[in-house]
A and B are shown apart, each in its own frame.
Chain A
């Protein structure tokens, strides 16, 4: 199931990347997939994302990114989570991010020419955004508790920073890998606050307009 989604995502990304007419310019669209790299309780699952960036010059740009991280319920829990919930009746913090949006500023001062046309760039990005979380009340073992369900669905303000590397193999197409750390404060059971730092790793195909 997971591999099928990955293949579908990659094929769809390739299809969009190579059939869209574009010419060299300062607007760059990205489409790809990301995974959550550091959640101890949830499996990393496919998260399609779309980004748009405007570059003022070769070294500076502003960007917006949206990512959908579908929750697959029980399938999202890893072996540790199953053991904690089913055997020990302990409730880890199950509050996956299902949607995310970010806006930020990108700096790309490190560049190297590869061959005649291709170019590689490394940069950093900083910014703010929003994250929508939906608590897994079954895993939290508080399905019938109104206090718990009051904060089941929440929007959070986030702040992020990260590293990106991209290869533009001609004036239209490229590929990028991003690693971002995104912070927000989660409210569980209406009363418990927990700061979360989620690390996302994503790979995008780039289109330059």
Chain B
């Protein structure tokens, strides 16, 4: 509850003052030597720009794959993208970190031995196609990532107590020396509200994220993006 309120305060603090105060009457002597970027919703066909975005949200696991998601009570995902846009298309490097609050390993049941709280790290690329939707900018995206769910507890303890004692198999976590075990595929759409002439927009994203060996999840994110 507290986290939700905090996120709402952040977005409210950005959107309301911007709409009320961004009148273009600004002192050029205070850190304003660089030119104002083009508005997000402007038709920029053929124009190549950098784009950066950041967002906070969560993965809603669908319980379709493993017993992992039955015990994932809360997830927080921070998503960062940096890339290039050409007209309506963009291609960006994507990094995504998800902290999954899971149940204590002793309470688990199912087929897959998990450690409880888990970290999901994803690194990959994301492609996006944008179009104007009245005052908003709509987009669809697809991303592909390499994913890790590293083992955070002592590996010997995990092997002896969590895997062997429980009789469960198919551990999802990377073992010592193992770099990658999973891949991620994401598809979804986003709505962006350009914040006047700032080049910054407030974004809302909804999509699905399938991480092999983990689960299929619905992903919701709120954040901001900017072209420059």
The distance from the CB of A15 to the nearest CB of chain B, in whole angstroms, is 23
Q: Which residues of chain A are within 8 angstroms of B228 by Cβ–Cβ distance?
A: 56-57, 60
Assess whether A195 is in contact with B99, with CB atoms less than 8 Å apart: yes
Q: Which residues of chain B are within 8 angstroms of A159 by Cβ–Cβ distance?
A: 76-78, 97, 99
Assess whether A122 is in contact with B14, with CB atoms less than 8 Å apart: yes
A170 in contact (CB, < 8 A): yes
Q: Per-residue 0/1 for A111-155: is the Cβ within 8 Å of any B Cβ (1 yes, 0 no)?
A: 111001111001111111000000000000000000100110000
Q: Per-residue 0/1 for A158-202: is the Cβ within 8 Å of any B Cβ (1 yes, 0 no)?
A: 011111000010110000000001011101001111110100000
Assess whether B200 is in contact with A59, with CB atoms less than 8 Å apart: yes
Assess whether A110 is in contact with B99, with CB atoms less than 8 Å apart: no
B9 in contact (CB, < 8 A): yes
- Per the bound structure, the CA–CA distance linking A8 and B115 in Å amounts to 44
Q: Name which of A69-77, A84-92, A101-109 contacts chain B.
A: A101-109
Q: Which residues of chain A are within 8 angstroms of B95 by Cβ–Cβ distance?
A: 128
List which B74-112 residues lie within 8 A (CB) of chain A.
Answer: 76-80, 82, 95, 97, 99-101, 104-105
Assess whether A183 is in contact with B27, with CB atoms less than 8 Å apart: no
How many chain A residues touch B (Cβ–Cβ < 8 Å)? 56
Q: Per-residue 0/1 for B1-22: is the Cβ within 8 Å of any A Cβ (1 yes, 0 no)?
A: 0010011011001100110011
- Per the bound structure, the CA–CA distance linking A103 and B3 in Å amounts to 21
Task: Tell me whether A170 and B30 are in contact in the complex, defined as CB-CB below 8 angstroms, given that A57-B35, A159-B76, A193-B116 are known contacts.
Answer: yes
How many chain B residues touch A (Cβ–Cβ < 8 Å)? 62
Q: Which residues of chain B are within 8 angstroms of A25 by Cβ–Cβ distance?
A: 31, 33
Assess whether B199 is in contact with A60, with CB atoms less than 8 Å apart: yes
B164 in contact (CB, < 8 A): no
The distance from the CB of B211 to the nearest CB of chain A, in whole angstroms, is 16
Assess whether B224 is in contact with A107, with CB atoms less than 8 Å apart: yes
Assess whether B30 is in contact with A119, with CB atoms less than 8 Å apart: yes
Contact of A168 among B14, B21, B31, B78 (CB under 8 A): B31
Assess whether A58 is in contact with B32, with CB atoms less than 8 Å apart: yes
B157 in contact (CB, < 8 A): yes
In this complex, the member of B10, B35, B104, B196 whose beta carbon has the largest number of chain A beta carbons within 10 angstroms is: B10
CB-nearest residue of chain A relative to B33? A24
Task: Tell me whether A119 and B26 are in contact in the complex, defined as CB-CB below 8 angstroms, given that A110-B13, A193-B117 are known contacts.
Answer: yes
- Per the bound structure, the CA–CA distance linking A163 and B8 in Å amounts to 11
CB-nearest residue of chain B relative to A185? B117
CB-nearest residue of chain B relative to A183? B99
Assess whether B22 is in contact with A124, with CB atoms less than 8 Å apart: no
List which A2-56 residues lie within 8 A (CB) of chain B.
Answer: 24-26, 28, 55-56
Q: Which residues of chain B are within 8 angstroms of A125 by Cβ–Cβ distance?
A: 54
Q: Which residues of chain B are within 8 angstroms of A105 by Cβ–Cβ distance?
A: 52-54, 80, 82
B29 in contact (CB, < 8 A): yes
Q: Which residues of chain B are within 8 angstroms of A80 by Cβ–Cβ distance?
A: none
A selection of 25 A-B contacts at a CB cut-off of 8 Å is: A24-B31, A26-B34, A56-B34, A60-B228, A62-B52, A104-B54, A105-B53, A105-B54, A105-B82, A109-B22, A109-B195, A113-B27, A116-B27, A122-B14, A124-B10, A127-B80, A159-B76, A161-B10, A163-B10, A187-B153, A187-B154, A190-B153, A191-B157, A193-B115, A193-B152
Binding site for A on B (CB under 8 A): 3, 6-7, 9-10, 13-14, 17-18, 21-22, 25-27, 29-37, 50, 52-56, 76-80, 82, 95, 97, 99-101, 104-105, 115-119, 121, 152-154, 157, 161, 195-196, 198-200, 223-224, 226, 228
Given contacts A57-B37, A107-B14, A193-B153, 14 further A-B contacts (CB under 8 A): A24-B29, A55-B34, A58-B198, A109-B224, A117-B30, A124-B10, A124-B224, A171-B29, A171-B30, A187-B152, A190-B153, A190-B157, A191-B157, A191-B161
